[in-house]
Amino acid sequence: MEEKVRKKSEEKLKPKLFSVMKNYSGEQLAKDVVAGIIVAIIALPLSIALALASGVNPEQGLYTAIVAGFIVSFLGGSRVQIAGPTAAFATIVAGIVASEGMDGLVISTVLAGIILIVMGLFRFGALIKYIPGTITSGFTFGIAVTIVIGQIKDFLGLTFSESPIETVEKVEETIRCIDTFNGYALLIGLISLAVLILWPKKLEKIPASLIAVILCSAIVKLSGMDVNTIGDLYTISSDPPKFTVPDFSFGRIKALLPNAFTIAVLAAVESLLSCVVADGMIGSKHRSNMELVAQGAANIGSAFFGGIPATGAIARTAANVKNGGRTPIAGMVHSVVVLVILILLMPYASLIPMPTIAAILFIVAYNMCGWRSIRNTIKTAPKSDIAVLFVTLILTVVFDLVVAIAAGLILAAMLFMKRMADVTEAHAWVDVDDEDTDPDNILLKKIPPRTRVYEINGPMFFAASDKYRYVLDDKKIDILCIRMRNVPAIDAAGVEVLMEIVKRCRRHKVNVIFSHVNEQPMGVMRRAGLTELVGEENFCDHIDTALQRADELEKELASKR
């Protein structure tokens, strides 16, 4: 009963905000406001850093946190989800911007938002769990690697002669330009890393990234070090988000659909993973389909107001929970505070050193890589799972996320089918003498003399079809009884093999009886016309009934001889 209630709650297309406001109190409002302010302070340097890693201007990361963050909190299916730019999108966005321009990114993000809304409306939220954990771990670690490689340039203060897009090309350019190394940049980067690693052990309430930004900006400004800052490389705007619409065309939409699907799938996976983590922290249950609708609306809104793709951010969501946020109001406060900071303090962002941004992204990459999960997988998982993980990881780094996820899913599906085929079997029963019959052993039954019983175990699908083609090898019988109580599912290939067996039996004048066919296989067999071919009377609900039917048929055949 509890399971039914839980599923019904998850299927609701109703924002959590409208549910939690029924019992909202002033005390909770105070907690939500404090949590929202703290999360906004955490989101500020992260949003700027992730925007730069994505190849766009720093304010566009803040636009994403403001617009997408507010919409997800207002419409979302989680009580505490905080949305904004995340590291998972950095390399994807950078690639789209470099090849398709900002208009291409906007169109891709809008299309991704529409796909997410459709996924939510058609209740696809539960399907995300069918993406294997090894694929998620693989591409997450791969993204972390690409982020680290992409930030080596700024961390070492290198000057590139070209502007590579692909990760492998960045590695080659880094090696080629290593002689442009800047010692001051490395020093600032190391100071930033030290603050980011050591500060949380002392004062966790104040974000370490904010301290690193303030401290290193002051050091570079006061000392006059020759270190690139955001202002040296980018023109910074403190204008609030403005509504813009790109030039949509059918050809452009068709060309950008693959990018849109990538963004949509990644947004769905990461958002729902964040919701699951949050559920465990607060003892709640999110509404996955409503969350997908909210993420879709948020990405459309972010794109039209100058932002980049957004999704649920696990680290910021966890910070929200730890600081007392328990309703979507906290996320909405976070967006408003980021907007105020954008308007009042954005000019000061020009002072932030690029090595500090690189150091922040190094920590983001470390926190997202999930190396412990990968270590445990390598220690405990079957070799096939490890293969899926590393194929996805390597393809994410060498090629891109689209290739990695597609290849990972294909490989995982093929290996899963092999496992299912390995456990599917068909074996014959043999009759036993009366003195050997154990009345307490339900597997031993008295079988009529000219009847052969086969039991099929496991799903009957195309990868396992060769396992049960041989069941009529013995043609010196009158009755073939096929027991299917352990067959949970059957596909077209499985039905085709059964049809082939029945037709061969008819040619050799052998009657076929089916025992204990489950609901799904029975429906497929009926639609294929197999029940009509065999006769409804030859489908028995129990092996005892089937053997009794076999005995009756044997007697009928004997009387006709």
Q: What is the mean pLDDT of residues 296-302?
A: 97
How many angstroms separate the CA atoms of 249 and 498, rounded? 51
What is the per-residue pLDDT for 438?
43
Q: What is the mean pLDDT of residues 218-229?
A: 93
| Three-state secondary structure string covering 243-309 | CCCCCCCHHHHHHHHHHHHHHHHHHHHHHHHHHHHHHHHHCCCCCHHHHHHHHHHHHHHHHHCCCCC
Distance set, CA 490 to CA 75, 493, 515, 524 (Å): 40, 8, 15, 7
CB 355 within 8 Å of CB 186: yes
DSSP codes, 417-437? HHHHHHH-EEEEE----GGG-
Query: Which of residues 400 and 77 earns the better pLDDT score?
Result: 77
Q: How confident is the model at residue 277 (pLDDT cuts 50, 70, 90)?
A: confident
End-to-end CA distance of the chain: 58
pLDDT exceeds 70 at position 443? no
Nearest to 513 by CA among 460, 435, 465, 448: 448
pLDDT exceeds 90 at position 129? no
Q: How confident is the model at residue 466 (pLDDT cuts 50, 70, 90)?
A: low
How many angstroms separate the CA atoms of 462 and 460, rounded? 7
**Rg, Å, the chain Cα set:** 31
pLDDT exceeds 60 at position 69? yes
pLDDT exceeds 60 at position 441? no
CB 286 within 8 Å of CB 78: yes
What is the per-residue pLDDT for 462?
66
How many angstroms separate the CA atoms of 505 and 236, rounded? 80
- Residues present in the chain in total: 561
Q: What is the mean pLDDT of residues 255-268?
A: 92
Q: How confident is the model at residue 471 (pLDDT cuts 50, 70, 90)?
A: low
DSSP state of 229: B
What is the per-residue pLDDT for 437?
46
What is the per-residue pLDDT for 486?
87
Query: Which of residues 472 and 384 earns the better pLDDT score?
Result: 384
Question: Which residue type is seen at 381?
Answer: A
Query: Which of residues 303 and 374 earns the better pLDDT score?
Result: 303
Q: What percent of the chain has pLDDT over 90?
A: 46
Q: H-helix or E-strand containing 479?
A: strand 479-486
What is the per-residue pLDDT for 428?
65
Buried b (16+ CB within 10 A) or exposed e, 327-350: bbbbbbbbbbbbbebbeeebeebb
Nearest to 482 by CA among 448, 456, 461, 443: 456
Residue whose token pair is 């997202």: 368
Q: What is the mean pLDDT of residues 107-136?
A: 88
What is the per-residue pLDDT for 380?
73
What is the per-residue pLDDT for 426?
64
How many angstroms separate the CA atoms of 58 and 456, rounded? 62
Q: H-helix or E-strand containing 540?
A: strand 539-540
pLDDT exceeds 80 at position 232? yes
CB 38 within 8 Å of CB 205: yes
Q: Is 234 helix (H, G, I), strand (E, B) or coil?
A: coil
What is the per-residue pLDDT for 473?
60
What is the per-residue pLDDT for 442?
41
CB 517 within 8 Å of CB 536: no
Distance set, CA 336 to CA 81, 361, 517 (Å): 16, 24, 60
What is the per-residue pLDDT for 429?
61
What is the per-residue pLDDT for 162?
81
How many angstroms separate the CA atoms of 58 and 43, rounded? 12
Q: How confident is the model at residue 464 (pLDDT cuts 50, 70, 90)?
A: low
Q: Dihedral (C-alpha) 61, 63, 65, 71: value to the nearest 10 degrees?
A: -150
Phi, psi angles (nearest 5°) of residue 539 = -110, 110
How many angstroms separate the CA atoms of 157 and 168, rounded? 19
Tokens of 1: 């009963």
Q: What is the mean pLDDT of residues 35-62?
A: 92
DSSP state of 86: -
Q: What is the mean pLDDT of residues 294-323?
A: 93
CB 32 within 8 Å of CB 330: yes
Contacts of 96-100 with C-beta under 8 Å, sequence gap 24+, read 96/259, 97/54, 97/55, 97/56, 98/55, 98/163, 98/165, 99/165, 100/256, 100/259
Per DSSP bridges, beta strands 311-312 and 83-84 are antiparallel
Q: Poorest-confidence range of 7-21, 219-233, 264-278, 506-520?
A: 7-21
pTM, rounded to two decimals? 0.74
Q: How confident is the model at residue 201 (pLDDT cuts 50, 70, 90)?
A: low
- The CATH 3.30.750.24 domain(s) of the chain lie at 425-433+441-560
Q: Poorest-confidence range of 186-190, 318-322, 468-472, 547-551?
A: 468-472
pLDDT exceeds 70 at position 9? no
| Second-level CATH architecture of 425-433+441-560 | 2-Layer Sandwich (3.30)
Q: What is the pLDDT of residues 309-362, one digit of tens each?
A: 999 988 899 889 988 999 999 999 999 999 999 999 888 888 999 999 999 989
Q: Dihedral (C-alpha) 51, 333, 128, 290: value to the nearest 10 degrees?
A: -130
Residues 6+ apart with CB under 8 A from 392: 134, 135, 137, 138, 139, 142, 404, 405, 407, 408
Beta bridge partners of residue 480, listed in sequence order: 452, 512
How many angstroms separate the CA atoms of 140 and 87, rounded? 9
Whole-number average pLDDT of the chain? 86
DSSP codes, 135-193? HHHHHHHHHHHHHHHHHHHHHHT---SS---SHHHHHHHHHHTGGG--HHHHHHHHHHH
Beta bridge partners of residue 514, listed in sequence order: 482, 539
Tokens of 101: 């321009």
pLDDT exceeds 50 at position 440? no
Q: What is the mean pLDDT of residues 195-206?
A: 77
Query: Which of residues 507 and 260 earns the better pLDDT score?
Result: 260
CB 18 within 8 Å of CB 302: no
